[in-house]
Amino acid sequence: MTGPSSGEAVAKASPGGFSWLLEQRVLLSVAVLAVLPWVLPSQALAVNVLIYGVVVMGYNLLFGYTGLLSFGQAAFFGAGAYFTGIAIGRYGVPWFAAVPVAVLLSTCLAAAIGIVSTRTRGIYFSMVTLALAQLVYYVALQASSFTGGENGLRGFTVDRINLFGLQLNFLDPINKYYVLMAFAALAMWFQSRILNSPFGAVIEAIRENEQRARACGYDVERSKLIVFMLSGAISSLGGCMLALHLSIVPLDILHYQTSGMIVMMVLLGGARSFFGPFVGAASFLILEDVISLWTPHWQIFVGAIFVLFVLFLPKGIWGTLLDALRVGKARP
């Protein structure tokens, strides 16, 4: 029940029998997400899988598909959340308008950070994104009249929403989940569209061989900047969802540990795969949820599992699973 997802497969695929499945990967993913609140131990956990799934999916565009290892994705996650909260709480913007506004503003932030950082390569790119994300963290800490500083942003609870004339109790976990899932579905459709477009092929070409892509006449710098912005936009949508879900924005959302967690999730689930980010987010959060109920030393276990994955399953859970399925299918 999987969408084909390897970037390489997408790039090389000929249209035909393949395209049916390609279109379905969004639908299949949504179908899996739709049942999450009924299988996971709690609905709060399911919503978190959704939120982090979207954030990590945005990050996967940058890291998995373009090969840019950023350590600053938390900046966009947090920016989306803060802009949503401030728009609703301070300026009284209705929630459905606050989300696009927040995504737009976060994309501008991504453009600013991207202009500086995409000029560098390799470890320097990682360090520059980390440094700029820390800058965003300290701005949020200091601008406490806007952001609530250390205490976090509060006072923008969305408790009822009006959906085309239908009054929904947004505090009900199931209603909340499906409304937020619509956002996630939108993000998935958008990302799938990007990956299927010629631009999607270009970014993978950059990942595989930057020199060659340049020689083929592609504007590598511009493509990197655009993908950085798109990635930031999708991750910031995750932030908007978090703000609507928790009705607080904790300052820790901008902390570099959040960026680290995003990297961990994408590696755990499988970079370069379409549904991998959701698998990564789900497995990380479930591990954390279950093990921390059982022992306060949960980090030891999560860390050990992570090390094992990096050593033995570098393609992550989903990537490995897809490979296994393919081996089975390829030889009749």
Partner 1 sequence: MPKSGSTSKITRRTALAGLSAGAALLAMPRLGRAADETIRIGFPTPLTGPFAAEARDQVKCAELAVKLVNDKGGIGGRKVELLVRDDKLNAGEAATRTLELIEKDKVHAVVGALSSAVQLAVNEVTRARGVIYVSISQSDTINEAKDFSKYTFHEALNPHMTTAAVARQTLKKGMKVAHLVADYAYGHEMLRGFKRAQAAIGADNVGEILHPFGAADYSTFMPRLMSMRPDVLCISNFGRDQANSIKQAVDFGVKQQMKIVVPVILHNQRLAVGPDVFEGVVGGANYYWGLEGQSKSAASFNAAFKAANGGAIPTDYGAYGYSGVGSLLAAMQAAGGTDTDKVVDALEKLQYDLTKGPQHYRKCDHQSVQSVLVLESKKKSAMAGDNDLFAVLANDAGSDDMLRSCSELGHAT
The radius of gyration computed from the CA coordinates of the chain, to the nearest angstrom, equals 19
- CB under 8 A: which stretch of 26-34, 178-186, 202-210, 211-219 binds partner 1? 26-34
For partner 1, the closer CB: 5 or 126: 5
> Is 45 a binder of partner 1 (CB under 8 A)?
yes
Stretch near partner 1 under the rule CB under 8 A, chosen from 34-42, 98-106, 111-119, 214-222: 34-42
Q: By CB under 8 A, which span of 68-76, 208-216, 259-267, 292-300 interacts with partner 1?
A: 292-300
Write the CB contacts of 167 (distance below 8 Å, at least 6 apart in sequence).
160, 161
**Given 131, 135, 173, 256, the residue binding partner 1 (CB under 8 A):** 173
Among 241, 246, 263, 321, which residue interacts with partner 1 (rule: CB under 8 A)? Answer: 246
Q: Which of 68, 206, 242, 265 binds partner 1 (CB under 8 A)?
A: 242
Task: Name the β-bridge partners of 167.
Answer: 162
| 301 three-class SS | helix
Query: Using the rule CB under 8 A, is 299 a contact of partner 1?
Result: yes
| Binding of partner 1 by 207 (CB under 8 A) | no
Binding track, positions 129-148, relative to partner 1; x by CB under 8 A = --------------------
The amino acid that residue 188 corresponds to is M
Residue 80 contacts by C-beta under 8 Å, 6 or more apart in sequence?
Answer: 102, 103, 106, 235, 236, 237, 238, 239, 240, 242, 243
Task: Give the distance between the most distant pair of CA atoms in the chain.
Answer: 65
Alpha helices of the chain — where are they, by DSSP H? 7-12, 17-39, 43-60, 74-89, 95-117, 122-142, 144-147, 173-196, 198-208, 210-215, 220-246, 256-269, 276-294, 298-312, 316-330
Query: In this chain, which of 19, 23, 31, 121 binds partner 1, going by CB under 8 A?
Result: 31
d(CA 198, CA 234): 19
Binding site for partner 1 (CB under 8 A): 1-2, 4-6, 8-9, 12-13, 17-18, 20-21, 24, 28, 31-32, 35, 38-39, 41-45, 48, 149-152, 154-155, 157, 159, 171, 173, 242, 246-248, 250-253, 292-293, 296-299, 322, 325-327, 329-330
